[in-house]
Amino acid sequence: MSDVVAYEMDGDIAVITIANPPVNALGHAVRQGLWDAIERFDADEAAHAAVILGEGKLFIGGADISEFGKPPQDPWLPEVVNRIEACGKPVVAAIQGAALGGGLEVALGCHYRVAMPGTKLGLPEVNLGIIPGAGGTQRTPRLIGVAASVQMIPAGGNLSAEDAVARGLADTLGEGSPREAGLAYARELVGQGAGPRRVGALPCPKTDEAALEQARALWRKKSAGEVARLAAIDAVEAATRLDIAEGLDEERRIFREMMETPQRAGLIHAFFIERKVAKLPEIEGVAPREVARIGVIGGGTMGAGIATAALTRGLDVTLIERDEASADKARATISKNLEGAVKRGKLSDAQKDSILSDGFRTATGYDALSEADLAIEAVFEDMDVKKQVFAELDRVMKKGAILATNTSYLDVNEIAASISRPGDVIGLHFFSPAHVMKLLEVVVADQTANDVTATAFALAKKLGKVAVRAGVCDGFIGNRILAKYRAAADRMVLQGASPYQVDRAVKAFGWPMGPYEMGDLAGLDIGYMTRKRKEPTRDPRDVVPTWADELYHLGRLGQKTGRGYYIYEEGKRGGQEDPEVEELVAKAREKQGIAPREFTDAEIQRRYMAALVNEAARVVEEGIAKRPLDVDVTFLYGYGFPRWRGGPMHWADHAGLADLLSDIKEYAEEDDFFWQPAPLLERLVADNANFASLNDQG
């Protein structure tokens, strides 16, 4: 009857199976198929109960997200769920793997739920900028109560099968296959003469003001600027004061409102690009090399972080240091990192101990890497030092091993050219702390073999990282673009904005931190060293933040010295603004004869983002990032760009490229050195196109 929904009889039980790989999403054909199957079951006198199953590893992953934004097609999911619920004979959902979003809503429309052990039952809609729209906010509190609902739904969270049964979201844990478990439960119900038990007909518990208030306070703080999480709480609250039909209408109204927000578009963009980022023609169908044993050279913060990331994911790690004392220090750092994982509940104490005793060793000579499949150097950022390390790796490593550098700006082509096997060389740019940060820039050099790139992507997956392909240039994708918008911030400060106003404005946009707070966190010595490094090639028209150099010379290096742009008091979160910094800035302006002017927060945000997007357009045009989505993923995972804005390139498309270009041209009237429009941006505006149109190119 339907390609994606099968109907068959097993004795007196109708078995309705959804087969719509990969996640049995509830696209139009599935909704229609389910509708038809339920109608048939209702009319089928030989069928005494029905079981709904999802074929494959999971029950249903939710509504079909790729249909969002397109004209809706009947029957809508809420109608399908209501139709299932209205059925005159018992309907059982047999759930395995996951029942998410609309998938759980279908299960809640069923009269009984059997969950297989290991299944996740959840409503992740808010992560996509919407709320559950097929009864999830109305039926869930009827089963698990208001407090548990406002813990789960605005978090986009889920319950394990065991938890779901304990709380009443599911009725029982299944045994055997989902089909066997569903049939057994259905037969039991038929034997008992049980009729339909409609969740919508159950009374909703009374409101729980304290739980609602607590949830609102939590999400106002945790996800400032996001609308869907708070809207989901409103929808649950509606369930407590309205009957089921009115409650479903109210949920629908809020759902539709959320569908229209740019946040929904941003979050769904983020969902798809993080799955698309690893799809690159150069590695499609290319088998990665096997990586089980890795070497890490250098046990500083970065090397120890990389080793920690690898160890926690089951890789065997040999760490090379120059002497025993440094090796012991590295071991201690790794042990502390693992201790943190134990505290966060990610590892057990016993796992930590066995990782350190079985999977990890240190050595002071390179020969220990003769059997390693891949080595990553994380030594001092100096070309000669790196070349020496690579010469050693070239000498000791087996044929087919991969030689990787964690450099954050040095020329990977030059490193590769210095050894006998440049095809095996790649950049793996981790972000600090490497065992926490999700981003990995995979820096592909001119001669890097495709299977080496494929291996880097496979390794990233194994490490739980999100890999982005980057080309070779100073700073690759992320840090190269960062340098530009940091410079735009310094220019605004020189012209009259205070660093604190810049930080505040940038945070109001949604960034987790402003550039000056970020500088304090990273250490102001890093910025100073970068300026020194770039000094020989600096254009005289470039703005130098002399006040930042002065802070460095005063030993105010940020959080680690208790003072930088901000003053940090022991035991207090965050820093206090420092009037002495304002004085240093004022002196710098005076020295250059600059009369300070006022900036609005909106102008600060606009200039900051214009500098970012303009440089990002160059990065794409030069092929450093293959597609705008690579920039978006880099900023979402490496720089804390607000996910609900989709990424800077998605934001730019939404803000309007023509407006952005006209801003840049206006800024260029006062400073045509810094504000040169990127040719790609000009071309897109001339063609009335956007960055998204470039996302399908390889």
In the complex, the residues that contact ligand 3H9 under the rule CB under 6 A are: 22-23, 25, 61-66, 77, 98, 100-102, 105, 124-125, 128, 132-134, 136, 275
Q: Tell me the closest approach of the beta carbon of residue 124 to ligand 3H9, in angstroms.
A: 4
Name which of 77 and 489 has its Cβ closer to ligand 3H9: 77
In eight-state DSSP terms, residue 279 is -
CA distance 58 to 19: 10
- 467 DSSP β-pair partners: 440
Q: Tell me the closest approach of the beta carbon of residue 642 to ligand 3H9, in angstroms.
A: 19
Phi and psi at residue 291, to the nearest 5°: -130, 110
CA distance 191 to 644: 50
Token pair of 257 as six digits:
């409102």
Q: Tell me the closest approach of the beta carbon of residue 10 to ligand 3H9, in angstroms.
A: 27
Q: Tell me the closest approach of the beta carbon of residue 56 to ligand 3H9, in angstroms.
A: 10
Active-site residue set: 105, 125
Q: Tell me the closest approach of the beta carbon of residue 140 to ligand 3H9, in angstroms.
A: 11
CA distance 351 to 681: 51
- 443 DSSP β-pair partners: 427, 470
β pairing state of 120-122 and 158-160:
antiparallel
Q: Tell me the closest approach of the beta carbon of residue 5 to ligand 3H9, in angstroms.
A: 16
Name which of 136 and 174 has its Cβ closer to ligand 3H9: 136
Name which of 138 and 406 has its Cβ closer to ligand 3H9: 138
- 375 DSSP β-pair partners: 295, 403
Q: How long a stretch of residues is the chain?
A: 698
Encoded amino acid at 204, one letter: C
Chain center to CA of 426? 24
DSSP string, 371-404: T-SEEEE---S-HHHHHHHHHHHHHHSPTT-EEE
Name which of 22 and 193 has its Cβ closer to ligand 3H9: 22
Q: Is the peptide bond before 499 cis (omega within 30 degrees of 0)?
A: no
Q: Tell me the closest approach of the beta carbon of residue 67 to ligand 3H9, in angstroms.
A: 8
Contact 609, 652 (CB under 8 A): yes
End-to-end Cα distance, the chain: 40
CA distance 633 to 624: 14
Q: 256, exposed or middle or buried, with CB in 10 Å at 0-12, 13-18, 19+?
A: exposed
Q: Tell me the closest approach of the beta carbon of residue 687 to ligand 3H9, in angstroms.
A: 28
Q: Is the peptide bond before 433 cis (omega within 30 degrees of 0)?
A: yes
Name which of 65 and 265 has its Cβ closer to ligand 3H9: 65
Contact 171, 184 (CB under 8 A): no
Alpha helices in 50-208 (DSSP H): 77-86, 102-109, 136-144, 146-152, 161-167, 178-192
Name which of 66 and 662 has its Cβ closer to ligand 3H9: 66
Q: Tell me the closest approach of the beta carbon of residue 670 to ligand 3H9, in angstroms.
A: 45
β pairing state of 98-100 and 120-122:
parallel
Q: Tell me the closest approach of the beta carbon of residue 136 to ligand 3H9, in angstroms.
A: 6
- Measured CA to CA in angstroms, residue 197 lies from 89, 102, 372 at distances of 9, 20, 60
In eight-state DSSP terms, residue 60 is B
DSSP string, 578-610: -HHHHHHHHHHHHHTTPPP----HHHHHHHHHH
Name which of 20 and 406 has its Cβ closer to ligand 3H9: 20
Contact 111, 98 (CB under 8 A): no
Name which of 125 and 578 has its Cβ closer to ligand 3H9: 125
Q: Determine what percent of the chain falls in helix, strand and coil, rounding each to the nearest 5.
A: 55, 10, 35
**Residues contacting residue 188 through CB under 8 Å, at least 6 positions apart:** none
The vertex-473 CA angle with 696 and 688, nearest 5°, equals 35
Contact 584, 549 (CB under 8 A): no
Name which of 63 and 416 has its Cβ closer to ligand 3H9: 63
Q: Tell me the closest approach of the beta carbon of residue 133 to ligand 3H9, in angstroms.
A: 3
Q: Tell me the closest approach of the beta carbon of residue 278 to ligand 3H9, in angstroms.
A: 9
Contact 190, 49 (CB under 8 A): yes
Name which of 132 and 646 has its Cβ closer to ligand 3H9: 132
Name which of 63 and 280 has its Cβ closer to ligand 3H9: 63
CA distance 425 to 417: 9
Task: Provide the total of helices (H) and of strands (E) in the chain, helices listed first.
Answer: 28, 19
Coil, strand or helix at 246: helix
CA distance 281 to 285: 9
Coil, strand or helix at 319: strand
Q: Is the peptide bond before 22 cis (omega within 30 degrees of 0)?
A: yes
Name which of 79 and 670 has its Cβ closer to ligand 3H9: 79
Contact 649, 612 (CB under 8 A): no
Coil, strand or helix at 577: strand
Name which of 136 and 642 has its Cβ closer to ligand 3H9: 136
